[in-house]
Structure 1
C-alpha cells in the first residue's frame, strides 16, 4: 500500500508491504530514506537507517537512506587535482563528489503499491560537468523482506557516455539490544582491496580479510574489487538474520565491480556497505568505467534482502 505523508512540509511516500515499511522521497535525489520492520513482539527494527533530525531541505548531506551516486562514485581527480575529471574528448571538467544525483531533482515516471521510477532533471551544474544527452532513471521495487533497485542510463546522443554509478546504503548497526559492532561481521570475498590516496590512486591493501568484524579498523574506507561472488553478507557472528546484497545477476560480477565499507565514527548508529559499478576515480583510472553507446542503455541492478 502506498500513501503520501507530510514530513516537515515535504511530500514523502510510504509503502507498507507486509511487515515492512519503506519511506522514500522520489523527487529529492530519488532517495530511499528508511526501511523498517514490525517484529512479532510489536517492536520495530530499522534495516536502512534514517536520522530523526534529518534536514529534508538539505537531503544530499543527510547521513541516512541510500544516496544515489551518479555519474561517478566518490572523489574524482584529474592529474592529482580533486574535483575534476577528464572526459574522453580530452577536456577537463568539474565533478562534484558522488556526482549530481544525490542533490538532484527527479521527476516521477511511475509510482505504485510496490515502488516507483524517477528520472533525473539535470541541473545547470550537472550539464556543465556532464554535457551529454541522456536519461538517468532510478527504479525501486519493494517486497516484504527485500527491495530491488535499478539504475538505467539511456544515451540519446551521438557519442558514447561514460559512467560508474553506485549506492551508499546506510545500514543500521547494531540491530540487537545488548550487542555492539564487534558482534557483527561482513563477508565479501574478493581478490583485491585498496585504499584511495590523496591524488586519487588506488593503494593495495595486503593482506585483507574476506570476513571481518565491524569493529575492525581495516573495514573503514576499504575498497574491494575483483569480487569472487555477486553476493555480500553481513550480520551477527552466529549467522542468523544476515543481510544479503546481490549485485547484478552474474554469479561473478565484472572484474572491477566494487564494494566499499565505511562509517563516520566508532559510535555512529550505521555502517555503510556500498556496491558500486567501479572504484573511485574510475574516469582517470579506467577501472570499472562503463560506456553506453549512442541509442543504447545500460542497467546496474542491486537487490537487498533479509537472509
Structure 2
C-alpha cells in the first residue's frame, strides 16, 4: 500500500512494503527518485536493516550459533504498519516476529518517519532494543536518484575539500583494495567506469553532504550528519545514482564472522533507543 504525504513544494510516496520511498516530486513535476525499472535495478530506496551490505557466506556467528542473513537484511521485504499519518508526515513501524528471530535473535522495533518541510524530505530512523540482552545491528539508506540525459552530464559535489579514497568490493565483500577518485575542487564527475567493481565504499569522510549536479547546476542534496559511512553506486548504463548513508558496511573477506566484531556494528543495551536521520533537499529551480 502506498502512503502519500505532501506540502506546498513536494509530494512523497512511501510503500508500506519495506517503508520504501518510491517517489519524490516537486510541483513542477520533477521526479527525484529512480523509477525502479528491473532492467537495471528494481528498487527505489530500500531500508537496510539489521545489516548493511553482504555477510561472508551470508551468515554470522552469535553466541556460538550460526545465523543466515541475505544482503542488506530483511527490513526492505517486511510489511510496515503505518502508526501515524498527517498531511506532511508519516510514521512506519516494524517489529521482531518469530520469522525474524530465526535469522536475527534480537527483539527489536524499527520506526521510520518521513517528514516534508518546504523543499526538504527528512527521514528519521529509531531502533529500540525490546529484549533483555545487548542488541547488535547496522542500519542504512539506499536512495536512488533519477538522472535524465547523459550520465556524464552529472557530478557529485562534496561538502568539503578532501582526498577521496574508496574501498572496493570483491564478490560483494569489502576488499583491501582502494581507489583514489579523480575529483577537483570537491567535485567528482560521474562515469560508469567508477563502478566497474560495484559500489564505492567510504569508511570515513569529512563531508556530511553531497550535492548531485547536472552540468554544474545543483539538483538535489543529501545530508547525513548521523552516518559515518557512505556508499555510492550505480550499474552500467542505468539512469540513476545511489547516495547511501550507512551505519556499517559489508564484511571483509578475512572476517571471522563473529557478529559482535563486525566493522561498523552498533550495540544497544536492553531498553536503549538509537536514533539517526538524513535528508533529501530538492534544488531544481
**Global fold match (TM > 0.5):** yes
- What residue is the counterpart of 1:15 in the other structure? 5
Unaligned runs of 5+ in 1: 1-10, 55-60
Is the Cα contact below 8 Å between 2:164 and 2:181 reproduced in 1? no
Q: Does 1:241 align with 2:218?
A: yes
- The alignment partner of 1:203 has SS state of strand
- Paired residue total: 268
The two structures have a TM-score, normalised by structure 1, of 0.79
Q: 1:100 to 1:15 in 2, by over 3 A?
A: same
- The alignment partner of 1:113 has SS state of coil
Is the Cα contact below 8 Å between 1:105 and 1:121 reproduced in 2? no
- What residue is the counterpart of 2:270 in the other structure? 294
1:68 to 31, 41, 47: 47
Report the Cα offset of residue 215 of structure 1.
1.8
Q: Does 1:184 align with 2:160?
A: no
The separation in 1 between residues aligned to 2:130 and 2:278, in whole angstroms, is: 24
The separation in 2 between residues aligned to 1:271 and 1:206, in whole angstroms, is: 19
1:86 to 61, 67, 77: 61
Q: Does 1:45 align with 2:39?
A: no
Between 30-39 and 208-217, the greater mean CA deviation after superposition = 208-217
5 Å-filtered alignment, 1:132-211, equals 132-174=106-148, 179-188=149-158, 189=162, 192-198=165-171, 200-210=173-183, 211=187
Root mean square deviation of aligned Cα: 2.4
- What residue is the counterpart of 1:304 in the other structure? 280
Is the Cα contact below 8 Å between 2:96 and 2:107 reproduced in 1? no
The separation in 2 between residues aligned to 1:199 and 1:67, in whole angstroms, is: 17
The two structures have a TM-score, normalised by structure 2, of 0.85
Q: 1:91 to 1:187 in 2, by over 3 A?
A: farther
Report the Cα offset of residue 85 of structure 1.
1.4
Report the Cα offset of residue 130 of structure 1.
0.8
Cα deviation 1:148-191 (Å, max 9, x = unaligned): 111111112222111111111010013xxxx4111111134566
Cα deviation 1:194-224 (Å, max 9, x = unaligned): 1122383432313224542222412451111
Report the Cα offset of residue 90 of structure 1.
3.3
1:228 to 206, 211, 214: 206
The separation in 2 between residues aligned to 1:265 and 1:76, in whole angstroms, is: 24
The separation in 2 between residues aligned to 1:37 and 1:199, in whole angstroms, is: 35
Report the Cα offset of residue 244 of structure 1.
1.3
- What residue is the counterpart of 2:73 in the other structure? 99
Q: 1:245 to 1:196 in 2, by over 3 A?
A: same
- What residue is the counterpart of 1:57 in the other structure? none
Unaligned runs of 5+ in 2: 253-258
Cα deviation 1:103-130 (Å, max 9, x = unaligned): 0011121111111111114454321111
Q: 1:111 to 1:146 in 2, by over 3 A?
A: same
User: Per chain length, whose mean CA-contact separation is higher, i.e. which structure has more relative contact order (CA < 8 Å, sep 6+)?
Assistant: 2
- What residue is the counterpart of 1:279 in the other structure? 249
The separation in 2 between residues aligned to 1:199 and 1:216, in whole angstroms, is: 18
